[in-house]
Amino acid sequence: MMTARTEDGSAVAEVPDPPGPSDPSGPSGPSGLSGSWVDVGLTPMRRRHLRSVLRIESHAGHRGWSLGLFMSELAIQTGRRYLVAKVDGTVVGFAGMLFIGSDGHVTTIAVHPDWRGRQIGTRLMLQLTREAIERGMTAITLEVRAGNEPAQALYRRFGYAPAGIRPDYYRETGEDALVMWAHDVDSAGYQARLAAIEADLARPDADHPGVALDHPDARGDRP
């Protein structure tokens, strides 16, 4: 078994060993291997990661965050949490959350297209959600493109439900954003939901299609 771990060594989720050596086709990840198991490490995002983060941002279907916005977020010492997912030292995904009062807000989440289908986004969401609960959050919100049904399915897996629409939220495409909320994340029932997600991560037979995740655009929208 392999284990996804945070920088302090705490386990996030155990996953089976990959069935064989990965295709060494390049640092961005082996294409055409959707569903292959990989050893994923989660670590706090640092400025040294931003070149790789921006490379992933360039694959977004809308205007992504700028270098300046990422740097300003990382400079804030409280009320923020940003993580990167690494495979063999390569940043393949990232996510972030903002904390205000008892509410968390998923501000950004993305996985490189070559690495989708390996539940990297799920692992990032799982770790951020658990940290939000540890910080005393009782509800978490996010925005997603109204037409991105695969991403919405992932968020529903974490207990998110639609709560409203923000018209023309993604400027470049003119798409609306669906606002989703997960409530009572500090409850025993929600802990059971997270435990089931983690258990599913360890299933080698699970079917996990690649999902293009969404996040707010660079207008600086904040709850």
Mean pLDDT over residues 115-135, rounded? Answer: 95
Question: What global pTM score does this model have?
Answer: 0.78
Whether 82 shows a pLDDT value over 90: the answer reads: yes
How many Cβ atoms sit within 10 Å of the Cβ of residue 131? 16
Mean pLDDT over residues 10-30, rounded? Answer: 32
- Where does the pLDDT of residue 210 fall: very low under 50, low under 70, confident under 90, or very high at 90 and above? low
Looking at every residue in the chain, the average pLDDT score rounds to 80
In b/e form, how buried is each residue of 138-175, taking b as 16+ CB within 10 angstroms? Answer: bbbbbbbbbebeebbebbeebbbeeeeeeeebbeeeeb
Instruction: Return the ∠ at Cα 202 (arms to 129 and 198), rounded to 5°.
Output: 20
Closest by alpha carbon to 81, among 133, 138, 144, 128? 128
125 or 27, which is more confident: 125
Structural domains of the chain in order of their starting residue, each with its CATH number: 2-201 (3.40.630.30)
**Among 2-11, 116-125, 152-161, which stretch is predicted with the lowest mean pLDDT?**
2-11
3-state secondary structure of 40: coil
Whether 103 shows a pLDDT value over 90: the answer reads: yes
**Marked catalytic residue, from 57, 82, 155, 160:** 155
Whether 32 shows a pLDDT value over 50: the answer reads: no
- Give the pLDDT score at 68: 95
- Give the pLDDT score at 171: 83
Is 143 designated active site?
yes
Is 131 designated active site?
no
Q: Tell me the residue type at 1.
A: M
**Marked catalytic residue, from 57, 82, 131, 143:** 143
